Amino acid sequence: MTSGFSLLELLTVICLVGIFSSITLGWYGGNQKSTIERVTNQRNAQEIVSLGVYATLGGADFVVPGDKEATAIRLIGGVTGQQGVWKDRRFSLENLRPTDLPGALAFVKFDSDLLLYDPAGLQP
């Protein structure tokens, strides 16, 4: 029997640490409204990327190559896993609306059709 953390547990912890640190650091900044908006967009981006990782591991077909917005809209609508322990499991971003995407997608980038979180938010 091996002990350790699975990739999913590690990704979940990294996302939670990122969310909490963004919120904590944001409150110490000068302009709280813009900071809150940025943190909200970062949190939404982390949710998009996290669900994208799970859906990818589950073999769900949701990526529109080169189009982050269309890919995120598919995740909002929901996709179904096709393999492994996620077979027939529904992945959906029920708490996000398409109107939330423009700010959040600034923190998401594509790398070989994989969604990645970009904390700097500099990707087009």
> Residue range 65-92: average pLDDT?
87
Provide, rounded to the nearest whole percent, the portion of the chain with pLDDT above 90.
Answer: 6
CA 88 to chain CA centroid, Å, is 21
Measured distance CA(56)–CA(27) in Å, rounded? 34
Residue pLDDT, tens place only, 35-57: 788 889 999 999 998 888 888 88
How many percent of the chain have pLDDT more than 70?
91
Which residue stretches of the chain are H helix?
7-27, 32-57, 68-77, 101-105
Tell whether the model's pLDDT for residue 26 goes beyond 70: no
Higher pLDDT, 86 or 13: 13
Does the pLDDT value for residue 9 go beyond 50? yes
Q: Span 75-103, mean pLDDT?
A: 87
pLDDT of 124 over the 60 cut: no
Q: What is the pLDDT of residue 42?
A: 92
CA-based angle 25:7:10, to the nearest 5?
25
For residue 8, what pLDDT is reported? 84
What is the residue extent of each domain of the chain?
7-117
